């Protein structure tokens, strides 16, 4: 395992443990974004093992090209992750109107039947 892979894995773990251990709703949303960034970074790292050059038709010598399909998947994952994060933040804003704090335990106390 390279140092870059270890750093990416640590980023994913920090986000995962942040989701589990943090009590604030906003911190959970931020930790979810950190974990998503780590997963996308790992996917880019794995996809770049084939090569780093752009596959452009030319008469140059044969080099190892990067596969464009994972790049398109990553762009889609980034857009979907951004929209999900925006939706969660709107939900947190709606909860903040009714609750003075965004602590999970306080929200559960006031909203249980």
Q: What CATH code is assigned to 3-111?
A: 1.10.287.3510
3-class secondary-structure state, position 103: strand
Please list the pLDDT of the chain residue by residue as tens digits (113 residues).
789 999 999 999 999 999 999 999 999 999 999 999 999 999 888 877 766 666 666 666 777 777 778 778 888 999 999 999 999 999 999 888 888 888 888 888 877 77
Q: By the 8 A CB rule, do 59 and 53 touch?
A: no
The pTM is what? 0.78
What local confidence, expressed as pLDDT, does residue 84 receive?
Answer: 94
Structural domain boundaries in the chain: 3-111
Strand partners, 24: 103
Residue bearing tokens 């044969």: 62
What local confidence, expressed as pLDDT, does residue 112 receive?
Answer: 72
CA distance 2 to 19: 26
């Amino acid at each position: 395992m390279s140092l870059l892979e270890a750093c990416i894995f640590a980023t994913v773990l920090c986000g995962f443990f942040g989701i589990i251990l943090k009590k604030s709703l906003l911190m959970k949303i931020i930790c979810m974004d950190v974990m998503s960034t780590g997963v996308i970074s790992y996917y880019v790292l794995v996809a770049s093992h084939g090569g780093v050059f752009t596959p452009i038709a030319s008469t140059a010598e044969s080099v190892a090209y990067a596969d464009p399909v994972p790049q398109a998947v990553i762009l889609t994952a980034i857009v979907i992750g951004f929209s999900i994060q925006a939706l969660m933040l709107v939900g947190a804003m709606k909860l903040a109107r009714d609750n003075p704090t965004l602590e999970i335990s306080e929200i559960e106390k006031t909203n249980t039947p």
